[in-house]
């Protein structure tokens, strides 16, 4: 067993941990007998990567660690963790030939180390998760094989020593440090027809969403979303989409965004519309926008209508977020 962390720390940006961590925050706050499974390390070919989270609460499951082949085994282990209030370490190794035809029939040659955390024994976790879910800072979590669990996010922190269920599996690493960067935030300038499809698509990819919509009739279309005003700071906004379907409102939005530090700005509509808008902007505003502006916004996937446009925008934002060249087109 080593005394070092593995590694220090793991940066976790892919996937969408928000549904499982939102449910985990509620369970920890209410002291519910739920269990959070976290992949802390992988080797070889695996469905999930370090940082993947799944919540087990009785018959309920939120999230996935595999294509469905590993979850029944983990659910059984989670029942024991919930009943006994102890941390459990699970190692799932499917790298040999026998694993390809085992009862689980995983079909992947890989190994995963998974921590099962009894949330009713971690009440301090809820505050940290709440801060992270609001998009305010990076969530940092340390897990030691001997049961020490520490977490912090912005000004919230906790430290709990859990008892550990005995296991026959040897764990060579003594502790892991994981960090989930804050969820990305996108501002929608305009809640037009595409927004009804675009919003849930982006939420499923882990984005937080703000709406900047001065028209009351359009505000009512998405009442559950956070409405913001145009003068709010853009310090943590990652992307902005200009999609009012209104020339004057789009012009105002572009002038505002030119003064911002938002790295990704998308403009809905054909190239000619972009050119017409730029004719009314001063030279300084055009220069400020051009390196960041994607116009027309969206990948050329084919199809027409609000749903196809929403899909193309989601695809481009997904590509840009993960460093694909498609995100810059």
Q: Which domain holds residue 159?
A: 5-180
Q: Can you read off the two tokens belonging to residue 185?
A: 């935030």
Give the model's pLDDT for residue 190.
92
Q: Look at residue 231 and tell me if it is in a domain.
A: yes
Residue at a domain's end among 165, 180, 195: 180
- My answer on whether 21 and 165 are in the same domain is yes
What is the 3-class SS of 257-296, one letter each residue? Answer: HHCCCCCEEEECCCHHHHHHHHHCCCHHHHHHHCCCEECC
Of the three residues 158, 180, 202, the one that is the final residue of a domain is 180
Q: What is the pLDDT confidence band of residue 223, given thresholds at 50, 70 and 90?
A: low
> What pLDDT, on a 0 to 100 scale, did the predictor assign at position 326?
76
Do 104 and 168 sit in the same domain of this protein? yes
Output the pLDDT for position 116: 97
The pLDDT score that the predictor gives to residue 276 is 97
Instruction: Name the pLDDT band for 327 (thresholds 50, 70, 90).
Output: low
pLDDT level of residue 317 (50, 70, 90 thresholds) = very high
Among 159, 180, 201, the domain-final residue is 180
In degrees, rounded to 5, the angle at the alpha carbon of residue 78 between the alpha carbons of residues 77 and 84 is 95
Query: Which CATH number belongs to the domain containing residue 264 in this structure?
Result: 3.40.50.720
What is residue 322's predicted lDDT score, i.e. its pLDDT?
Answer: 86
Higher pLDDT, 174 or 253: 253
Q: Is the pLDDT of residue 156 over 50?
A: yes
Task: Name the domain count of the chain.
Answer: 2
Query: What's CA 262's distance to the chain center, in Å?
Result: 19
List, in sequence order, every residue forming a beta bridge with 152; answer none if it has no partner.
140, 157
pLDDT tops 60 at residue 13: no
Per-chain mean pLDDT for the chain: 86
For residue 188, what pLDDT is reported? Answer: 95
Q: Which residue has the higher pLDDT, 82 or 110?
A: 82
Q: How confident is the model at residue 219 (pLDDT cuts 50, 70, 90)?
A: confident
- Domain assignment present for 48: yes
């Amino acid at each position: 067993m080593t005394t070092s962390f593995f590694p220090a720390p793991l940066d976790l940006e892919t996937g969408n941990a928000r549904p499982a961590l939102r449910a985990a925050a509620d369970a920890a706050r209410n002291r519910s007998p739920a269990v959070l499974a976290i992949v802390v390390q992988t080797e070889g070919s695996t469905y999930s990567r370090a940082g993947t989270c799944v919540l087990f609460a009785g018959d309920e499951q939120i999230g996935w660690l595999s294509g469905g082949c590993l979850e029944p085994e983990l659910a059984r282990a989670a029942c024991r963790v919930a009943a006994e209030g102890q941390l459990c370490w699970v190692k799932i190794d499917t790298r040999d030939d026998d694993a390809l035809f085992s009862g689980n029939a995983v079909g992947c040659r890989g190994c995963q180390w998974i921590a099962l955390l009894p949330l009713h024994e971690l009440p301090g976790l809820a505050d940290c998760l709440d801060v992270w879910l609001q998009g305010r800072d990076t969530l940092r979590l340390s897990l030691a094989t001997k049961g020490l669990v520490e977490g912090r996010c912005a000004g919230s922190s906790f430290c709990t020593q859990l008892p550990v269920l005995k296991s026959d599996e040897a764990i060579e690493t003594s502790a892991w440090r994981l960090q989930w960067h804050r969820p990305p935030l996108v501002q929608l300038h305009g809640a037009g027809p595409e927004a009804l499809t675009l919003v849930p698509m982006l939420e499923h990819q882990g984005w937080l969403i703000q709406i900047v919509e001065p028209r009351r009739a359009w505000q009512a279309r998405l009442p559950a979303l956070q409405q913001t005003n145009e003068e709010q700071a853009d310090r943590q906004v990652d992307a902005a989409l200009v999609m009012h379907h209104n020339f004057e409102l789009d012009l105002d939005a572009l002038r505002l965004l030119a003064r911002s530090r938002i790295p990704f700005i998308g403009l809905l509509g054909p190239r000619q519309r972009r050119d017409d808008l730029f004719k009314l902007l001063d030279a300084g505003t055009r220069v400020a926008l051009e390196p960041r502006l994607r116009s027309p916004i969206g990948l050329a996937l084919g199809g027409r209508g609000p749903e196809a446009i929403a899909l193309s925008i989601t695809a481009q934002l997904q590509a840009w977020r993960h460093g694909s060249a498609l995100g810059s087109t």
